[in-house]
Amino acid sequence: MNLKLEMIVLPVSDTDRAKAFYEKAGFRLDVDYTANEEFRVVHLTPPGSECSIIFGEGMTPIAPGSFQGLYLIVSDIEEAHADLAGRGIEVSEIFHDAGGLLYHGHEDGDVTHREPGQERLPGIHPERASYGSFLTFSDPDGNGWVLQEVSQRLPGR
């Protein structure tokens, strides 16, 4: 049986502001439906993704901005950085992690997901290793995204 992740419900405080932000970031608007004053759903899909995000009024009781570590995979981290920055999205500088891959968040909400004791080092991974280079950005509510460069998938992926 195949199980495909289809959608993530994002907690946001202002539907129109979030919609404008994600469209500016290049996400495709799939649906903007209002049933009544208490229920509105906005459905967007990142370019090239099979998984979408939805948000809106009456969608979730989760606190806006509480999602961290939402990963988007890119084949070229420099191109992704230039594209997002060119769209006016505030992105971090490209970085790699002294310990390799990023795994866990921090109590302060840091979206780098590094283990204690590891460091975020500036620039692309020195060997341009697949899974080794990152950048981050947050939506207006603080939901945190991580872009990770993957040029060659691990076996079984």
Domain range for residue 123? Answer: 65-157
Clarify whether residues 98 and 23 are in a common domain. no
What pLDDT is recorded for position 81? 98
Q: For residue 52, which amino acid is it? A: S
pLDDT in tens, 84-99: 999 999 999 999 987 7
Residues 51 and 76 in one domain: no
pTM of the model: 0.87
Point out the domain boundary residue: 40, 62, 84. Answer: 62
- CATH number of residue 49's parent domain: 3.10.180.10
Last residue of a domain, one of 62, 85, 105: 62
- Our count of domains for the chain comes to 2
